[in-house]
Structure 1
Amino acid sequence: MAHERPTDIRFTLEPTDADNDVLVQIIRSANTAAGSGPDGYQPVGFLITGPEGETIGGLSGYVLFDWLFIQFLAVPESLRGEGVGTELLERAESWARERGLVGMWLDTFAFGAPEFYRTHGFTQFAAIEDHPRGSRRHFFLKRL
């Protein structure tokens, strides 16, 4: 049974988790029907905790199919230059290897840390110029 064409498209600057869950379920169903098999989606986090157990930084992302996408890597200013970012990447890589993942990928801006990722074995595979204007967004991957 076909759905009727929607009569309204609602714009929001704040889609809810429930809104996004509907979209994700439609995509996952279509991917499975196309023969991709289960996507194995799994959120992951390697979090730096403060003195009272609160999160003060870390690395988070998700596994999709056979790759770990690093969505966020943030080290508090007070810990920069002490190898904490390197340790976060190493722990994520070790975890990904243990699970037999193919690789890891991420994006960062030119004013972010592209050289940091290059020094840790990541290879740039794409860039978007003028994102933001006058700068660049870099996309990196590392095969495991």
Structure 2
Amino acid sequence: MPFRAVLTDVADDAVLAQIVAPLAQYNEGQAGPSHHRPLVIRLEDEEGQVAGGLWGYTNFGWLYVQLLAAPAAARGQGLGRRLMEQAEAEARARGCVGAWVDTFTFQAPAFYEGLGYQRFAELADYPPGHSRVFYHKRFEAEPA
């Protein structure tokens, strides 16, 4: 069966769904249902406008925090910690065993380490002069 590769810089959600479909089918055949479910916490200002928040999903019994952002005026006030705690509580309610996240060395390694996350991988020089670091945290390892 002949195939052709088509390169584009257009990110189309419908194309993404078509690309993911055979992979998801294979993965479920190997590991069972992923139970993929978005987990989003919007941070709204006084006018109800989104000013930041947390964007992630639960999948295969783990929470992945893809994005965590707070406006500059709210940084250093514990808001990020509260958002992470809320996401972790929801992940536990969904039956997750842990969470993982990645960040850059110029962003928030100390923040995640302070929340009990442990570094498990690093991609050096991404971006050049910095690293992308990966953290995980198993919920059952937390003190009762």
1:2-37 C-alpha deviation (Å, 9 max, x unpaired): xx221x211111220001001221111111223x11
Deviations 1:48-107 (A, max 9, x none): 011221211001111111101000000100111111001001101111112220100010
What's the C-alpha RMSD, in Å, of the aligned pairs? 1.0
**2:36 aligned with 1:41:** yes
Q: Superposition pairs for residues 17-36 of structure 1, below 5 Å? A: 17-34=13-30, 36=31
**Does 2:93 align with 1:98?**
yes
Structure 1 runs of 4+ off > 3 angstroms? none
Residue aligning to 1:127: 122
Structure 2 segments unaligned to the other structure (5+ residues): 140-144
Cα distance in 2 between the residues matched to 1:72 and 1:58 = 8
* Matching residue of 1:112: 107
1:142 aligns with 2:134: no
| TM, length-normalised to structure 1 | 0.93
Mapped partners of 1:100, 1:40: distance in 2: 10
Choose which of 1, 5, 13 in structure 1 pairs with 2:2: 5
Give the Å deviation of 1:110.
0.4
In structure 2, distance between residues paired with 1:39 and 1:98:
16
Task: Tell me the SS of whatever aligns to 1:106.
Answer: strand
The total of aligned residue pairs comes to 139
Range that drifts further, 129-138 or 115-124: 129-138
Structure 2: how far apart are the matches of 1:33 and 1:119? 37
Distance 1:66 1:97 in 2: 9
How far the C-alpha of 1:112 sits from its partner, in A, is: 0.6
